[in-house]
Structure 1
């Protein structure tokens, strides 16, 4: 444990702004490593991207695909906000890796590293609950044999559940109503330069949703678009430490 549950309750930073879970995690990472930074400064350094809710559908979808922050932004933001004192190293967990998550996290936490999970929250949704509409960054402040302890919100989640959310393709589900209310007659979905938009046939998904709406059906509840995020764990440490150098020199986790 980096913090006890009581300490986490007292010390955790709650979401500092819209789409700012990444910057929020960075505030607590720096706090855990002994570097105090104002939330506004962390957010500025992370360069949180916002959703463009008033835009027509193509631009809205583009903004959704990158809203918030990627692990790269978290690493750069922590480094800038700490004036170079803190570094981060991201470990991909998709495709699935040969790793036992809790023991792996425990080893790094014991050494003093501060983990942040980048997870697709749209996976492993409990039956009857609404599908969340975003990915999420959460600081991990401890682990137990089958449980992961996280902040923002303070949460105790099973290792199995966390691991599934940490092993996701870089995609995002967009709700039916968010698509249809921004659709215009002159909407052109073929302007995206990233080939993943074509590979996922986002334009065809939208057409299918419109067709179902015209026919009074409602089968397609979401469309799937590419996401800027990668699922995995970022480990943070002080640069001028043995741990910092070890992090930089550690190889990627092997693919299963």
Structure 2
């Protein structure tokens, strides 16, 4: 769900939308901001920050990381202190650097190779729309489907899976090198600020780009 989707869903509840407003502050490209100080300012004003973050970007650096859920998550920020930032879903505290790394990510979603293989085995024809995609198609109107060579990534996953199966029958060790496929995402990393003070939201300066 993108920031716009989250905002539009919220507006469906008229009892809140009439007196609560929100504004999205993008963090990609990376912004020059003291995250602790910036969040502290909004929370002290009674605002509610919701971070839209790419969890995979940070956790993929961990050894043996295995992502089974969507790489994009929406997390409520309910407090800050010098040692970190408090988040919900799940409840935990993370350092400003950890949060910043997950916020400063391009609009990309990571699909695990197991899901690619499973979907292809269930329906081999599922690749047809991707193979014949064109800019007129609503599904593939984003040119990044081509520039990111998504079809080529998928083919590599399937090729390695076939090699894996062949080697297993021969009892030959083989470890696939492709763990994920990168596809364009409608999500944008950043922070949604919900507040009753419309003027404060609208007059807040945009976060400057990091040089």
Cα shift at 1:214: 2.3
Which residue pairs with 2:101 in the alignment? 164
| Residue 115 of structure 1: aligned partner | 49
Equivalent position of 1:205 in the other structure: 153
* Cα drift, residue 132 of structure 1: 4.9
Aligned to 1:215, what secondary structure does the other structure show? helix
Correspondence 1:230 to 2:164: no
**Do residues 70 (structure 1) and 2 (structure 2) align?**
yes
Root-mean-square deviation over aligned CA pairs: 1.5
Matched with 2:171 is none
Q: TM-score, normalised by structure 2?
A: 0.82
Unaligned runs of 5+ in 1: 1-68
Size of the alignment, in residue pairs? 184
Shift of 1:129: 3.5
TM-score (norm. length: structure 1):
0.68
Any stretches of 5+ residues in structure 2 without a counterpart? 134-139, 165-173
Aligned equivalent of 1:104: 38
Match of 1:27 in 2: none
Distance in 2 of aligned mates of 1:83 and 1:72: 14
Equivalence for 1:37: none
Which of 38, 42, 63 in structure 2 is aligned with 1:127?
Answer: 63
* Superposed displacement of residue 102, structure 1: 0.6
Is it true that 1:141 corresponds to 2:78 in the alignment? yes
Larger radius of gyration: 2
SS in 2 for 1:124: helix
1:180 aligns with 2:134: no
- Measured in 2, the distance between the counterparts of 1:144 and 1:111 equals 16
Question: Is the contact made by 2:68 and 2:112 (CA closer than 8 Å) also made in structure 1?
Answer: no
